[in-house]
Amino acid sequence: MSFFKTLTLAFALGLGALPALAEPFVKGVVEEITTDPQRLTIAHEAIPNLEMEAMTMVFRVADPAMLDGLAVGQEIEFEADRINGRLTVTALRAPS
Ligand SMILES: [Cu+2]
C-alpha cells in the first residue's frame, strides 16, 4: 500500500470514528442573500444530520466571508448544523 493510500485510509477511519465532525454536504440553490444580518436563503435537498426534508429556508452563516462571491441562482453544496439552537451553514463549496 502506498504512503498516500495509507494516509487516505487513516483519514477515512478517523472521520468514521468522529461522525460529528463530518456532516454530509447537501446540494442547494441560493435563493436570497442578506448581508445585514448575514443570512442565506437556500432551496436545499434533504439534510440527513438535521432530519430535514427538502425545502427552501433561511440559514445563518458561520462566517460572513462565506457570502463573498455568492450569487442568487448559484448551485452550492453546503454543510449545516444547529449552533446555539440556530440552523447555520458551517461549510460551503462549489458543486463537485
Ligand atoms: Cu430546511
Contacts of 46 (CB under 8 A, 6+ apart): 26, 52, 53, 54
Q: In the predicted model, what is the mean pLDDT of residues 15-25? A: 60
This prediction has a pTM of 0.76
Backbone phi and psi for residue 23, each to the nearest 5 degrees, phi listed first: -65, 145
CA distances from 66 to 34, 36, 53, 88, 96 (A): 12, 14, 24, 12, 17
According to the model, what pLDDT value does residue 21 have?
59
Q: Please tell me the distance between residue 88's alpha carbon and the centre of ligand 1 in angstroms.
A: 11
Residue pair 40/67 in contact by the 8 Å Cβ criterion? yes
- Look-up: residue for cell 442547494? 28
In a domain, 7, yes or no: no
In a domain, 65, yes or no: yes
Q: Residue 87 maps to which CATH number? A: 2.40.50.320
If one counts the domains in the chain, the total is 1
- Per-residue pLDDT of 72-94, as tens digits, reads 999 999 999 999 999 999 999 99
Q: Please tell me the distance between residue 52's alpha carbon and the centre of ligand 1 in angstroms.
A: 6
